[in-house]
Amino acid sequence: MGRAPNYLELSLFSVMWSEHCGYKNSRPLLKRFPNEGERVVQGPGENAGVVEVGDGWAVAFKMESHNHPSAVEPYEGAATGVGGIIRDILAMGARPVALLDSLRFGPLEEERSRYLFREVVRGIGGYGNAVGVPTVGGEVEFAEAYSGNPLVNAMCVGVIRTEDLVRSSATGEGNLVVLLGSKTGRDGIHGATFASDELTEESESKRSNVQVGDPFCEKMLIECCLKLLAEDLLVSLQDLGAAGITSSASEMAAKGGVGIEIETDKVPLRESGMEPWEVMISESQERMLAVVEPHKAEEVLKLAERYELVGALVGRVAGHGDLRVLHNGKVAGTVPAEHLADAPVYERDIVSPIYLDEVQELALDDIAEPEDFNAVLLKMLGHPNLRSRRSIFTQYDHQVGTDTVVLPGADAAVMRIKGTNLGFAVTTDGRGRHCYLDPRGGGAATVAEAYRNLSCVGAEPVAVTDCLNFGNPEKPDGYYQLAGCIEGMSEACETLGTPVVSGNVSLYNETDRGAIYPTPTVGMVGIMKDVDSHATPAFKREGDMVVVLGKMPPILGEPRPSADDLLAGSEYLEIVHGEIAGLPRRPELLAEKEIADLVRGLVSSGLVDTAHDISGGGEAVALAEMAIGGGIGFDYDGEVDIGELRQEMRGDVFLFGETNPDFIVAVPEERWDELQHALGGVAYDWIGTTGGNRLRIGDLIDLDLDELGEAHERDLFEAHVPEGGHIG
Catalytic residue IDs:
20, 66
Name the DSSP class of 536: B
Q: What share of the chain is helix, strand, coil (3-state, %, to 5)?
A: 40, 25, 35
Of residues 346, 348, 352, the one with CA closest to residue 477: 352
Cα 600 from Cα 429, distance rounded (Å): 19
Name the DSSP class of 415: E
Cα 475 from Cα 472, distance rounded (Å): 6
CB within 8 Å of 722: residues ≥ 6 apart = 728
Say whether the peptide bond before residue 553 is cis (omega within 30 degrees of 0).
yes
In the chain, the N- to C-terminal Cα span, in Å, equals: 61
Distant-in-sequence contacts of 266-272, Cβ < 8 A, 24+ apart:
266/312, 266/313, 266/314, 266/315, 267/179, 267/184, 267/312, 267/314, 268/179, 268/183, 268/184, 268/310, 268/312, 269/183, 269/184, 269/185, 270/182, 270/183, 270/184, 270/185, 271/185, 271/186
The answer to whether the CB of 169 falls within 8 A of the CB of 529 is no
Distant-in-sequence contacts of 51-56, Cβ < 8 A, 24+ apart:
51/462, 51/463, 51/501, 51/525, 51/527, 52/162, 53/417, 53/422, 53/423, 53/424, 53/527, 54/422, 54/527, 54/529, 55/420, 55/422, 56/161, 56/162, 56/163
Of residues 425, 431, 429, 438, the one with CA closest to residue 480: 438
Cα 408 from Cα 535, distance rounded (Å): 13
The answer to whether the CB of 79 falls within 8 A of the CB of 152 is no
* 641 φ/ψ angles, rounded to the nearest 5 degrees: -85, 100
Number of helices (H) and strands (E), helices first, in the chain?
26, 28
Cα 289 from Cα 298, distance rounded (Å): 16
Name the DSSP class of 517: P
The answer to whether the CB of 225 falls within 8 A of the CB of 90 is yes
CB atoms within 10 A of CB 134: 25
Residue 496 amino acid letter: L
> Roughly what angle, to the nearest 10 degrees, separates helices 476-496 and 439-457?
40
Of residues 532, 548, 542, 549, the one with CA closest to residue 668: 542
Please name the helix (run of DSSP H) or strand (run of DSSP E) that holds residue 568, with its range, or none: none
443-476 as b/e, with b when 16 or more CB fall inside 10 Å? bbbbbbbbbbbbbbbbbbbbbbbbbbbbbbbeeb
Query: Which of left, alpha, beta for 85 (phi over 0: left; psi -120 to 50: alpha)?
Result: alpha
The answer to whether the CB of 92 falls within 8 A of the CB of 48 is yes
Cα 414 from Cα 98, distance rounded (Å): 10
Cα 542 from Cα 557, distance rounded (Å): 31
The distance from CA 164 to its chain's CA centroid, rounded to whole angstroms, is 26
DSSP reduced 3-state for 197 = coil
